[in-house]
A and B are shown apart, each in its own frame.
Chain A
């Protein structure tokens, strides 16, 4: 997937480009299905399973966007760490038997649907009406370029993010520890 490669004519289904497009369509469907399960499931454990499916699809989309490194990080961090952490929290703190049924309020279902639909419609309409200009690439965006960008032009943010992660770990320990003595 060379960034400069632009396909103009429609490829046949059983050529390499056609199969690539087919895999992309399948992965798009996987992402959307996972998202629908994650936002609509009644049981939390099903929602987290849908979130895992959605994130696997998103990792495949990153691969299609010429970023295999970010796709790998998506699998490692989101699927492997964040979703598993949320699954542990569900097992620790969400007993299914005490769960009340139904939506969060009398109006939250329809109103939530309307507002989410408005936001989605606005974003799609804005993307449709805008023409984005594309600029020539100055490098290939490989892992080496990402590393150079991390340690030169984004080094300040890189250091700050490590401090943020350290404070988050300490804060999580403190918050989870305080209620334990009761």
Chain B
């Protein structure tokens, strides 16, 4: 297995998706702001999409199914970004901040 034939290997894509997923989890836990957490969740969704596409290319009998799944994930991500950002704007109007530590109104 040469370094130049890595793109014909399922495991390459699985490792790459695992690394992207880990980056997303790390960013989700360390980012201070709501927008930063949203960016990290997009990384997690991208990792899931890469997994779907890799299995679609290398194992699945019908190569259209994984692409359909990925397109659905894109539509859900677009809806999630729209809702999430409108929530961020609404939170910013009320608190003048999107920092997660400032949003403590329910904390007793």
Contact A65 B13 (CB under 8 A): yes
Contact B82 A169 (CB under 8 A): yes
Contact A157 B72 (CB under 8 A): yes
Residue among A11, A64, A99 having the largest count of chain B Cβ atoms under 10 Å: A64
**In the complex, what's the smallest C-beta–C-beta distance from A147 to chain B, in angstroms?**
9
**With A and B bound together, what is the CA distance between A12 and B63 in angstroms?**
30
Size band of the interface chain A makes with B: 35 or more
Chain B residues positioned under 8 Å from A140 (CB to CB): 63
Contact A171 B6 (CB under 8 A): no
Contact A179 B16 (CB under 8 A): no
Chain B residues positioned under 8 Å from A98 (CB to CB): 96-97
Q: Chain A contact residues: over half helix, strand or loop, or mixed? A: helix
Chain B residues positioned under 8 Å from A13 (CB to CB): 4
Contact B78 A165 (CB under 8 A): yes
**With A and B bound together, what is the CA distance between A24 and B79 in angstroms?**
31
| Contact (A61, B16) CB under 8 Å given A67-B53, A104-B31, A168-B83 | yes
Chain B residues positioned under 8 Å from A32 (CB to CB): 16, 19-20
Contact A175 B90 (CB under 8 A): yes
**With A and B bound together, what is the CA distance between A28 and B7 in angstroms?**
10
| Contact (A73, B16) CB under 8 Å given A39-B40, A89-B89, A149-B64 | no
Within 8 A of B (CB), among A6-60: 6-7, 10-11, 13, 17-18, 20-22, 24-25, 28, 31-32, 35-36, 38-40, 44, 47-48, 51, 54-55, 58
**With A and B bound together, what is the CA distance between A17 and B50 in angstroms?**
22
| Contact (A139, B22) CB under 8 Å given A7-B8, A21-B4, A104-B30 | no
Chain B residues positioned under 8 Å from A3 (CB to CB): 57, 63
As a 0/1 sequence over residues 78 to 103 of chain B, the CB contacts with chain A under 8 angstroms (1 = contact) are: 11111101111111111011111100
Contact A94 B26 (CB under 8 A): no
Chain A residues positioned under 8 Å from B76 (CB to CB): 161, 164
**With A and B bound together, what is the CA distance between A98 and B48 in angstroms?**
34
